[in-house]
């Protein structure tokens, strides 16, 4: 069973995926925002990998 911290990270990761997908669907995506969201998502993925 995953810890509550890992579950929170997974939830945040899924949220970021949704925000990235939503931004990509816009007619003129904000590249700076996308970069920031993708970096944050990558940090979460790295932290989840360390916890595993």
Q: Where exactly are the structural domains of the chain?
A: 4-51
Give residue 2's pLDDT band: very low, low, confident or very high (50, 70, 90): low
Longest dimension (CA), the chain: 41
Q: Comparing 51 with 39, which gets the higher pLDDT?
A: 39
pLDDT at 23: 97
How many C-beta atoms surround the C-beta of residue 23 within 10 A?
15
Q: How many CA atoms lie within 13 A of 10 on its CB side?
A: 9
pLDDT at 1: 46
The pTM score is 0.86
């Amino acid at each position: 069973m995953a810890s509550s911290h890992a579950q929170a990270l997974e939830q945040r990761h899924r949220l970021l995926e949704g925000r990235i997908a939503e931004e990509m669907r816009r007619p003129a995506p904000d590249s700076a925002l996308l970069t920031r969201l993708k970096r944050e998502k990558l940090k979460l993925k790295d932290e989840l990998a360390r916890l595993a």
